[in-house]
Amino acid sequence: MITEAEQRRAQAAAVDLILAAGLILRDDERGRVEVADFGLGSLEAEGAQILTLVQTERLAVKLIALTPWQALPEHWHPRVGDDPGKEETVRHVAGDLFVYVDGPPTIARGRVPTGKEHLYTMRHELVLAPGDQRTFTPGDKHWFQAGERGAVAYSFSTTARDVLDQFTDPDVQRVTVVAGGDR
Amino acid sequence: MITEAEQRRAQAAAVDLILAAGLILRDDERGRVEVADFGLGSLEAEGAQILTLVQTERLAVKLIALTPWQALPEHWHPRVGDDPGKEETVRHVAGDLFVYVDGPPTIARGRVPTGKEHLYTMRHELVLAPGDQRTFTPGDKHWFQAGERGAVAYSFSTTARDVLDQFTDPDVQRVTVVAGGDR
């Protein structure tokens, strides 16, 4: 759960990161950045700001903005019925982006969120430069983290059904609850 | 047919447009911008520079760079067998981009290439601002033209099989032939 104030701050931070990256957003887009805490209630450590640019039955394009050191929790895109599962290419745009995938543990720049070591099992670190990209096929476990400057990246994928993503952390709830605590 | 010199000039112009738009390209990407004259031999009037960022069995992401007043000829994406046809969203990034679709004729900013009036039949003009986007469903006839500043746009689509695109102009050949005439 996040408060409305947290949601507003995170949206503003995401818009700032995206515009600082030189990308252009329409006014209506600035107002609909999704703030996701993944139900973990610790948005600065674990979460993401996501702006959906295209979402059809066949494909999805999103901008992902991460605030400094924010980790997008480890997950994968499973097969669902006849659907082979979401295929996703993440293209880094600006800031520091660390991607963790299966392979020999090389984590050095990133920091697993405190007390969550067992929930971030992929420790092979890819440090992306702007323009670098990585494709995840269905079933590939992965997580992301921004470095000290935050990060902005595109996600190009087959149609996104976020609620079907599977997370290593059983406490993850993909739908973020916003409390009106500060009204 | 274009010459190698034309190809090099068009690639350089495309890279300049893309970088001036604030986008970041890797070195390997700068060298593989496709220059398409659509077999019409009049690249400055009819053609496109296309950089494929993602191309899998399921989706494609491309950057389209048009030089000033260059028109990307009228075409549509047909159904092919079990494939419902390519679905495409074009998102304008920088410069002047005019899009022509079915509807009442309103063309004012753009200019149909001379002598080709019967081959550019869609005359409903959409003047896109950076950040604006338009989705084309299979079968939708459309063509594009850059204004005086050229244009850069993303194309997000289901998997692209360019050779299956259908063009109003029967002389179009989707595979560009490059002559070594100036070597």
Q: List, for residues B132-141, the tens digit of each pLDDT value.
A: 999 999 999 9
The confidence band for A175, taking pLDDT boundaries of 50, 70 and 90, is confident
Write out the DSSP string of A29-96. Answer: HHTT-EEE-TTSS-TTTB-EEEEEEEE-SSEEEEEEEE-TT-EEEEEE---BTTB----EEEEEEEEE
* Closest chain A CA to residue B90: A54
Average pLDDT value for residue range A2-7: 95
User: In this complex, do A58 and B87 lie within 8 Å of one another by their Cβ atoms?
Assistant: yes
* Nearest neighbour of B131 by CB, restricted to A26, A56, A131: A26
AA letter at B35: V
Whether A132 sits inside 8 A of B26 (CB atoms) is yes
Cα–Cα dist A94/A103, whole Å: 25
Give the span between the Cα atoms of B3 and B180, in whole angstroms: 6
Contacts of B132 in chain A (CB under 8 A): 26
- Specify the residue for token string 């059904």: A161
CB contact under 8 A, A26 and B89: no
ipTM (interface pTM): 0.91
Instruction: Please tell me the distance from the alpha carbon of residue B2 to that of residue B11, in angstroms, as a whole number.
Output: 12
Residues of A in contact with B19 (CB under 8 A): none
Range A107-126 average pLDDT: 97
Query: Residue B182 — pLDDT band, cuts 50, 70, 90?
Result: very low
The contact set of B with A (CB < 8 A) is 22-26, 29, 53-54, 56, 58-59, 61, 87, 89, 91, 93, 130-133, 135, 156-158
Nearest-CA distance A139 → chain B (Å): 16
B85-107: average pLDDT: 96
A23 SS3 class: coil
Phi, psi of B18, deg, nearest 5: -65, -45
| CB-CB neighbors (< 8 A) of A53 in chain B | 91, 133, 156
Q: Do A54 and B156 touch (CB under 8 A)?
A: yes
**Nearest alpha-carbon partner for A159 in A87, A91, A70:** A87
Q: What is the mean pLDDT of chain A?
A: 94
Instruction: Closest CB to B59: pick one of A22, A25, A59.
Output: A59
Does the distance separating the beta carbons of A157 and B59 come in below 8 Å? yes
Q: Chain A residue with minimal CA distance to B54?
A: A89
Hey, are the CB atoms on B59 and A93 less than 8 Å from each other?
A: no
Give, for B153, the enclosing helix (H) or strand (E). Answer: strand B142-158
**Which secondary-structure segment (H or E) carries B16?**
helix B4-20
Q: Which residue of A has its CA nearest to B87?
A: A58
Contact B53 A133 (CB under 8 A): yes
pLDDT above 90 as % of chain A: 85
> A183: pLDDT confidence band, cut at 50, 70 and 90?
very low
Please state, in angstroms and as integers, the Cα–Cα distance from residue A74 to each residue in A46, A105, B180, following that order.
10, 15, 51
Instruction: Return the pLDDT at B80.
Output: 81
Asked if residue A35 has pLDDT above 70, the reply is yes
Instruction: For residue A179, report the phi and psi dihedrals to the nearest 5 degrees.
Output: -90, 150
User: Is B135–A91 a contact, with Cβ atoms under 8 angstroms apart?
Assistant: no
Residues of B in Cβ contact (< 8 Å) with A133 = 53-54
Query: If phi over 0 gives left and psi between -120 and 50 gives alpha, with beta otherwise, what is residue A131?
Result: left
**Residue A63 main-chain phi, psi, to 5 deg:** -105, 130
Q: Indicate which of B15, B61, B133, B135 best probes the interface with A, i.e. most A CBs within 10 Å of its own CB.
A: B61
The listed CATH number (3.30.450.20, 2.60.120.10, 3.40.250.10, 3.40.50.970) that belongs to domain B4-182: 2.60.120.10
User: Any idea where the domains of chain B sit in the sequence?
Assistant: 4-182
